[in-house]
Every structure is written in C-alpha cells, then in structure tokens.
Amino acid sequence: MRQQSDVLRDLNYIKENHLKAYIFGCGMIGKDAGYDILNFLGVQAANYCDNDNAKWGQVIKEGISCVSPEILSCKDKVACFVMVSCKYEDEVVEQLKNYPNVMIITYQELLTLDAVIDRFIESCVQEDCKSENKIEHKKHSNSINPIHNKYNKKAVVYTCIVGGYDSFVEPICYSEDCDYYYISDKEPENLKVFQWIDINSIVPGDLKDNFRKNRFCKINSCHIFSEYHYSIYIDGNIQIMGNVLKYVEKIGRSGIATHRLPGEKDVYAHALHCVIAKFDKKSLIFQQMADYYKEGMPRNYGMLECTILVRDNTNPLCKKIMNNWWQEVYSRSYRDQLSFTYCLWKNGIETMDVGVLGDNYRNNIDFKRTSNHHRRNKENEMVFDAEENR
C-alpha cells in the first residue's frame, strides 16, 4: 500500500485538473461507503465501471450509470477509484495497469487517510453524545471447570466452530506432546486427531449468540485449559499443516504470540472497515470507538491478527489481558480485533511485546486457509452521510 502523502498528492492532482473520475465496482463498497467517502473528499464520480457486463448501462446511484472498463482506454487522463473488497483489489489494479492514462487509487488507500479516519472518529463521538440508548458495559464471569490434562501434555491445540460457521478439517501434522480439541455444538463423525468437547459444557448459559460463544472459548484458554502450560487456538477455517508446538518459543513477555495484520496499524481504520462491511451493528462499533477515543486510545498503535493465538496460560499478564479482552467482547462488538489492541494498550503493552508468528498467516506454510467464514451481515447502513459532507 502506498504512503498517505502519495495518495494525497494524486487526489489533489485529480481535483486541481478536474480529471474525470470513475468508481470501479458496483457492489456494496462502491455504492455506499466508497461513494460517500469520495464526496467527503471533494471528488464527484462521473461513472461507475464493472467487469460484469450485465451492469453496463444501469444507473447504480444518484443518476450515475455503469460503463464497460474499456472506456478507460481513452486517450484523456482519468482517475479510477477501485472500490472492491481486498480479495479482488490486486486483481483489479493489475487489470487497470493496462490503461497507462488511468490514475489508480484504491479503497484501502482511502481508508487510511487521516481526513477520513478523523471524520469517522468525529462521527462516532457525535453519535455517542446524542445516543439515548447506550449499551451498558457489563461484567461477565468466566469461571468454569477446566478440561483435565490427563496425560500431562505440554500444550493444547484447539478450535471452536458454532452454528456451522466453518467447516472442520483435521490436521495434516500433529505432535504427541499436545492434546487436540474440537469445541462445537455438534459432534462430528470420524474424528482422528481431535477430541470433541460439547460447547454447552463450557459456555455459560446466558450466552445465547453463536459469535460470543465462539469468542468465549477463543479468548478464555487460561480458564478452559488451565492445566496446560500452553494453549494454541486455531480458527475453524484453518488447517494445521506443520508442527505448531514450536511456536510456544515465539511468545513475548505479554505471554501471547500471533501474526501481524497485513497493511493495518490503526484500530479506528479497522473499525471503519468493519462498519462498511457490516460485520456488526454500526451503533455498537460507533459507541465502542467513541469510548476508546475519549479514554485516549491513540491512533496507529498497531494491529494484530487474531486467527491463530499462542499463549502461556501460566503468565499473569496474559491472564489479565485475556480477562479484559473477554469483558470487552462480551459487552461491546464481537469483532475481537477491535478490542484486542485496546486491551494491550490499557495494560501498558505495545504490539512489539507480543510474539510474532509471522507477518501474514496466509504466507505461513504451517497453516492453510480452507474456506471463507460463513458470515451473516447484521445491518445495511452507510458510514458517511453524503449530503452532510458535500
């Protein structure tokens, strides 16, 4: 991803030279948040464009119609804002590089701009001040009967799948020094390496939604597996390809090790992305970020990937961070990456104090992503009010 100064330079050039602007992508991002962010930045799109020829000629939003990407082959210099999910962004950028007259700015680059994030934080604080139905920041008990370490294994490796959110896969490689547990609400057939644990025997009865049932098991390893020195949590859509026990040697002074989150370092920018992608209720995330901002949570503190977590269950600091983290996830957004960095900051821990398993788990040969999560969006709301920000 380019530096913010480079993106701002290109934006200024586009506006000063009145370049014709196109939004590439007629999906949710292009129609909602992407469109509104451009208006906020003072750029009015002339057309949408998309690879789906069924959309060509259709009016997508505010009288703006969709055209074929071939129109970008014109001789005049134009701007194209790539408003697609990160899954397809690189592919579209490579496609647009075939048109040398096109200035390309991506959605991800726009999300990192200080002006955009500052506006988002301002919106969070404004909404929080006028909200009459603030969600109570309530406490929750994580006291449970731990799983017995019958054979005195060094570590436990576990995953948790609730409500068919992921498709379970056995590991390719495993260690005799570890116990392997699969926590779920349905017993699978023909388990080989993993042992099944009924999630209802672990999760408190007052937890009703599947997201928080999963997060309870994910976060509270120090309680669930307190008889094991180390715990290694793996998301349900990840297959173990190598010996993961070696990663306990990577644990930092915080008692935690995980991967970096590629391209992200600001919890507020990540929160904006979560709102745009409708990963959780907009009002819930707004209140959470407003509270963090008022407490002094700094921007660009760092972001970590929570897909794979290696922890020292005996480390007092790790226990404290996990307890704080669970309280945040229980009473705020279930999107645990929004509160993980905050809990580190509240405990005086910098992201560099967390052990590094790698810069990106997708490039780690010991893990293989087998599928996307079966995610369900909860709301259909825009982040910016286009009329307000013109």
Q: How large a percentage of the chain has pLDDT more than 90?
A: 76
Within 10 angstroms of residue 159's Cβ, the number of other Cβ atoms is: 26
Q: Please work out, in degrees rounded to the nearest 5, the angle formed at the alpha carbon of residue 148 by the alpha carbons of 142 and 153.
A: 115
Tens of pLDDT, residues 239-263: 999 999 999 999 989 999 999 988 7
- The sign of the torsion formed by the CA atoms of 386, 283, 132, 343 equals negative
Q: What's the pLDDT score for residue 75?
A: 81
21 bridge partner residues? 79
Q: What's the pLDDT score for residue 388?
A: 30
Q: What's the pLDDT score for residue 128?
A: 81
Query: What domains can be seen in the chain, in order of their start residue?
Result: 4-111 (3.40.50.720), 155-369 (3.90.550)
The alpha carbons of the chain give a radius of gyration, in whole angstroms, of 23
Averaged over 373-380, what is the pLDDT?
44
Q: Is 308 helix (H, G, I), strand (E, B) or coil?
A: strand
Q: What's the pLDDT score for residue 263?
A: 76
Averaged over 99-116, what is the pLDDT?
93
Decide if pLDDT at 380 tops 50.
no
How far apart CA 38 and CA 186 sit, in angstroms, is 46
How far apart CA 312 and CA 229 sit, in angstroms, is 6
Q: Torsion angle, CA of 149/151/152/154, rounded to 10 degrees? A: -90
Q: What's the pLDDT score for residue 38?
A: 95
Q: What's the pLDDT score for residue 385?
A: 37
Q: Is residue 377 packed enough to be buried (19+ CB in 10 Å), middle (13-18) or exposed (0-12)? A: exposed
Averaged over 89-103, what is the pLDDT?
95
Please state the length of the chain: 390
Q: Is residue 331 packed enough to be buried (19+ CB in 10 Å), middle (13-18) or exposed (0-12)? A: middle
Q: Which helix (H) or strand (E) holds 59?
A: strand 59-61
Say which residue, 76 or 132, is predicted with more confidence: 76
Tens of pLDDT, residues 126-184: 988 876 666 666 677 777 889 999 999 999 999 999 987 667 889 999 999 999 999 99
SS3 of 258-284: EEECCCCCCHHHHHHHHHHCCCCCHHH
Tens of pLDDT, residues 202-237: 999 888 899 999 999 999 999 999 999 999 999 999
Instruction: Report which of 50, 47, 36, 49 is spatially closest to residue 111, judged by C-alpha positions.
Output: 36
- What letter does residue 188 receive in the DSSP assignment? P
